[in-house]
Structure 1
């Protein structure tokens, strides 16, 4: 399974350094907003190793 944020992460990692840095800055703002609007899911690490590898998979809506 892949979600939109995983796809964005792949794109960032595949982008050249200069444009990639700009993209990372833009995504950082979106990630901060996402973290403000969600709560950490205390059970995410127990769901699967896939869930535990990325912080955006370990969130639940407020």
Structure 2
């Protein structure tokens, strides 16, 4: 996935630097934000996400 930016996002009262990713193949540990066509997916700390052409799967 294309890394677009890093953004400050708030999780459980703390501000964290958070990777912002576009569509495409990626495997990341949260925190992360996927900006996808038609939706935005937030991956919180402690979660992992995998993305491919079919979408994004999150697991804890």
TM-score bracket, shorter-length normalisation: under 0.3
Structure in which a larger fraction of residues adopt helix = 1
Structure showing greater Rg: 1
Using structure 2 for the length normalisation, give the TM-score.
0.19
Structure in which a larger fraction of residues adopt strand = 2
Using structure 1 for the length normalisation, give the TM-score.
0.19
